[in-house]
Amino acid sequence: MLSLFARCQAPRVNLVLEEQSLTANLPGCSIIHPTAYSLGYYIQTRNTQKKRTLELSGHVGFDSLPDQLVSKASAQGFCFNILCVGETGIGKSTLMNTLFNTTFENEEASHYGQMVELRPHTYELRESNVNLKLTVVHTVGFGDQINKEQSYKPILEYIDAQFAKFLEEELKIKRSLFNYHDTRIHICLYFIAPNGHSLKSLDLVTMKKLDSKVNIIPVIAKADTVSRNELEKLKIKVMSELVSNGVQIYQFPTEDEAVAEINSSMNTLLPFAVVGSVDDVKVGNKMVKGRLYPWGSVEVENEKHCDFVKLREMVLRVNMEDLREQTHARHYELYRRCKLEEMGFKDTGTDSQSFSLQQTYETKRKEFIVELQRKEEEMRQMFVNKVKETEAELKEKEKELHERFEQLKRMHQEEKKNLEEKRRELEEEMNAFNRRKVAAETLMGQALQGCSQQPFKKDKDKKK
């Protein structure tokens, strides 16, 4: 908790020390004003390196600030996010269960995934009235692909995505960081396979890509599968390859005198060789966490058998807050600076003079207006050209339709003329037919009349 109090930060408010009294809005000295993260004031002069310590004539009460901070932090709770990177079946889930002495929800992973998948799981833990929101992120399918060149990319993208979420919340006009669930990765436990004499190329490439994004602690998994001599040789080889390839792993801090000695000694023992187990085995007359084999047993919390206790001590009991601070002050600040520089925000101009946020905003605003006008002009010109092209196409279509209409009109007139001609010919044929019909009927009538008169004459001649 004292480390939380020591890292308080705040904006400055101008004050002056004149005739041993504080007067506002006068040059001479500055005072650090408390913010949501700070718990007190202190005075420092601008023009000299000397600091004045004032004696109090009586008890004031700000000596209770550390207690207030502890109470507030305990009530708010803490968050801690762990990223477990390693091959499928290397023991990531088992180590997490052993580390926090509980059983987390674990999903079985397949070796046949087409790409690396990250699965985060968040849990609410409570120990001695301290609430911890723990997020464990597992890399599913890491190292299972034939082509492993891009295996690190999903991990890198996930870490950057969590930074982006925090930056987005931080840049909001109405921020709510007090209630914000921080998902930034505080530690990456990189699991190294014990069945080898050195690091794989995939391990080196992945850790090199991640070392500027997250605090990396390499661990040799399943340390009970190799002999002690082989394990020591592997440790030396791993550290040698990390140094020669420029991979920056997390170093336990040695600035604090209270933990400098233990952290310094633990830095020389990296990478930790660990064994995980949630099973109780009987060793002598007591039950301990470990693994039982036909040839013997391995105790998880026996420092002669593995480095699990050292890992738990360093990560959870000594340096947990430093891991959180390093994530915010180093890795997130690097991401934030790069992102703001990409957006055009910077602290100094081309002449190395101070560059205020207002100036940056005005500069970006002018650039945006110019770019907007250019885009509008381009869009307007594109619209005009499109209209002209459309008008030309419509005129061409209209011309084609007019020509087609005239053609159909001529065809209609010709067809009409042909029909009229055929009708006239048909009428003439009908008239000729009618005339022939009348003539035929006349002749037939005359013939019938002649036939009827001849028998009458014959009868008349007989009578005579």
Q: Which pLDDT tens digit goes with each residue over 417-432?
A: 999 999 999 999 999 9
Which segments of the chain belong to CATH 3.40.50.300?
Answer: 77-343
pLDDT exceeds cutoff 60 at 40: no
User: What pLDDT, in 10s, does the model give residues 213-239?
Assistant: 999 999 999 988 888 899 999 999 999
Mean pLDDT of the chain: 82
According to DSSP, the residues that pair with 57 across neighbouring strands are none
pLDDT band at 26 (very low <50, low <70, confident <90, very high): very low
Instruction: Give the DSSP H or E segment for 258.
Output: helix 257-267
Segments of 255-398 assigned E as strands: 272-273, 280-283, 286-293, 296-299
Residue 286's beta-bridge partner residues? 283
Over residues 343-365, the pLDDT tens digits come to 777 665 555 555 566 777 777 78
Please tell me the chain's helix, strand, coil percentages from 3-state DSSP, rounded to the nearest 5: 50, 15, 35
- Please tell me the distance from the alpha carbon of residue 159 to that of residue 214, in angstroms, as a whole number: 8
Tokens of 255: 């600035």
Is the model's pLDDT at 245 over the cut of 90? yes
Residue 375, amino acid: K
Beta bridge partners of 272: 219
Question: What is the third-level CATH fold of 77-343?
Answer: Rossmann fold (3.40.50)
Amino acid identity of residue 242, one-letter, is: L
For helices 228-244 and 201-210, give the axis angle rounded to 10 degrees. Answer: 50
Q: Which of 120, 116, 106, 107 is nearest to 144 (CA)?
A: 116
Is the model's pLDDT at 76 over the cut of 50?
Answer: yes
For residue 293, the model assigns a pLDDT of 82
Residues 185/211, Cβ–Cβ less than 8 Å: no
- Choose the weakest-confidence range: 258-267, 375-384, 440-449: 440-449
Counting beta carbons within 10 angstroms of the beta carbon of residue 167, is it exposed (0 to 12), middle (13 to 18) or buried (19 or more)? middle
Q: Which residues contact 375 (CB under 8 A, 6 or more apart)?
A: none
Q: Which two tokens stand for residue 204?
A: 């080196």
Q: Supply φ then ψ for residue 70, to 5 degrees.
A: -60, -45
pLDDT at residue 23, rounded to an integer: 35
Over residues 269-280, mean pLDDT? 89
Q: So what's the pLDDT on residue 333? A: 93
User: At residue 389, what is the residue type?
Assistant: E
Read off the pLDDT band of 389 (50, 70, 90): very high
Q: Report the C-alpha gap between 321 and 327 in whole angstroms.
A: 10
Instruction: Give the max Cα distance, the chain.
Output: 190
C-alpha pair distances (Å), 443 with each of 139, 434, 437, 450: 117, 14, 10, 11
Written as six digits, the tokens of 349 are 């101009």
Q: Which two structure tokens, joined as six digits, stand for 70?
A: 């502890």
pLDDT(404) > 50: yes
Question: Which sign, positive or negative, has the C-alpha torsion 227, 228, 229, 235?
Answer: positive
> Residues for the chain: how many in total?
464
What does the pLDDT look like over 312-339, one tens digit per residue?
A: 999 999 999 999 999 999 999 999 999 8
Q: pTM here?
A: 0.66
How many angstroms separate the Cα of 160 from the Cα of each of 67, 211, 342? 35, 13, 15
- The predicted structure's pLDDT at residue 144: 81
Helix (H) or strand (E) holding 405: helix 357-463
